[in-house]
Structure 1
Amino acid sequence: MTNGYIFRYTITLVIIVAIILSATATLLYPLQKKNEDNEKMVNIMKAAGITVTNNEDVYSLFDKYCTKMLIINNDGTIIDECSDAVKTKCKAFNINLKNELSKMADNKDYSLPVYVLQYDNKIINVIPLQGTGLWGPIWGYMALSEDFDTVIGTVFDHKSETPGLGAEITTEKFSNQFKDKRLFKNGVFKSIAVVKGGISALDTEEQKYAVDAISGGTITSNGVNDMIRNTLELYLPYIEKQNDKQ
């Protein structure tokens, strides 16, 4: 067997494998996208306090409660509004927040999504969050009252935080602490502090703006703290414009 034959055989094999992998990825993409969309819709609704059971049609339920989606620019101006029957087709639904935050870091124009839901006779604004934990990306959704001051609920997730420690941000024990917390004090943005050692040492007033950090998960807790503040600060121009209208 000559070296030339071996070389041609190897190249042919590599090409065939590449074609198979490419075809497989192409065929699987629609299913993968559907699963990602499904998870995103469930998390947005969960943050807003909407329970989704396994036998429910997530798409129909989301289209029922999500009345519109907005895209805002750097100065808080609405540049796109979508109320299509199929919300997953809206541009706002498909914005990659991580990419938009990278644009901001490079001093480029960026766009941010706002998901507006109506549930239990309330207007609920859901804001996506993006940050960094101990070992990698963390993210989530925060549902806010119509005036953006009171937290309705939150959902957090992560890529590779430590099980039993930082990974506890995904638990209801952690996320439920945020319910009814406040973001503004006397009209000034204060955010919600994730406090190492717990909020019991804080006075009653300050406890409205804080939650307990995760024991043993200090760096991840700090990441959640920074993620909330840094992401929501980008939405302040939009929030101020909306509250001026009320």
Structure 2
Amino acid sequence: MNKNSNTYTFIYASVMVILVAAALALTNGLLKEKHNKNIEIDKMTQILRSIKVEATKDNAENLYKANIKTAYILNSNGQVVDESQEATFGVDMSKEIIRPLEERQLPVYEAQSEGKTLYILPVYGAGLWGPVWGYVSLQADRNTIYAVSFSHAGETPGLGAEITTEAFQEPFSGKVLFKQGDFRSIAVLKAGQKSDNQDAVDAISGGTITSKGVEDMLLSCLGAYKAFFEQVEAEKKEE
């Protein structure tokens, strides 16, 4: 074929376009796969942190498999609607939180600590500059908090971003969600303040809006599991 002909030029250009497009598609696919994997690892790390297990990107998967024994999805009546761990892990709380309560998928992860069952529940809400989220682990009574893990998208360093610190998170341990048989959640109050009808932790100094966001997040998200929590008392009465 004459390399100086228009036909040759057209064919050559077409082949090059196809090759470049294929290379870009392959690169994009590989990068997207790596990005999604990093998101999964980060999620596993946060879930593990809520049961006081520290993980790195190198050991998160193994620790997750060793500690998270089962996972399932509930409806708002506390009934299991899906027992697939993969489906549970894939629930996007940023989408679920805006659905009507009766339509929400409510993930539960179960772990074992010193022979006792822990229930891990995801929470999602809004801070000052963007979303805040996390995981709350409950003891076998589904009332007492074992530990929490919070994160954020863009809260102010030294202020709202302090929700990720041990100083803010540790005081949640041992707090209870129910008082006198009623679901109350946990209040996040200015240091020194107390609530008469619910357990409370200190808010972040200078991070009032983010602290309030965490309080609202816990009330809204954990409140959706109320029927699941109350099953424990119902089971006790049947014994």
Amino acid of the structure 1 residue aligned with 2:157:
P
Residue 242 (structure 1) shift = 4.3
Residue 26 (structure 1) shift = 1.7
> Structure 1 runs of 4+ off > 4 angstroms?
15-23
1:228 aligns with 2:213: no
Contact conserved, 2:42 with 2:57, CA < 8 A, in 1? no
Gap runs ≥5 in structure 1: 1-11
1:240 aligns with 2:230: yes
Aligned ranges for residues 1-246 of structure 1 at < 5 Å?
A: 23-52=26-55, 54=56, 57-82=59-84, 90-104=86-100, 109-196=103-190, 198=191, 200-202=192-194, 209-246=199-236
Secondary structure, counterpart of 1:102 in structure 2: coil
Distance 1:78 1:26 in 2: 35
Q: TM-score normalized by structure 1? A: 0.81
Task: Mark the CA change 1:168 to 1:16 in structure 2 (over 3 Å): closer, same or farther.
Answer: farther
Amino acid of the structure 2 residue aligned with 1:39:
D
Residue 56 (structure 1) shift = 6.0
Residue 20 (structure 1) shift = 6.6
Distance 1:201 1:108 in 2: 35
Distance 2:24 2:68 in 1: 37
Distance 1:17 1:168 in 2: 46
Distance 1:228 1:245 in 2: 25
Deviations 1:80-112 (A, max 9, x none): 124xxxx5xx110111011112222xx772211
Q: TM-score normalized by structure 2? A: 0.83
Secondary structure, counterpart of 1:103 in structure 2: coil
Distance 1:77 1:35 in 2: 32
Deviations 1:93-137 (A, max 9, x none): 111011112222xx7722110001012222100010000011110
Contact conserved, 2:187 with 2:201, CA < 8 A, in 1? yes
Amino acid of the structure 2 residue aligned with 1:177:
P
Deviations 1:186-206 (A, max 9, x none): 22111110002x1x3438x76
Of the two, which has the highest radius of gyration? 2
Distance 2:168 2:102 in 1: 35
Contact conserved, 2:75 with 2:102, CA < 8 A, in 1? no
**Pairwise CA RMSD of aligned residues?**
2.5
Distance 2:133 2:20 in 1: 35
Gap runs ≥5 in structure 2: 1-13
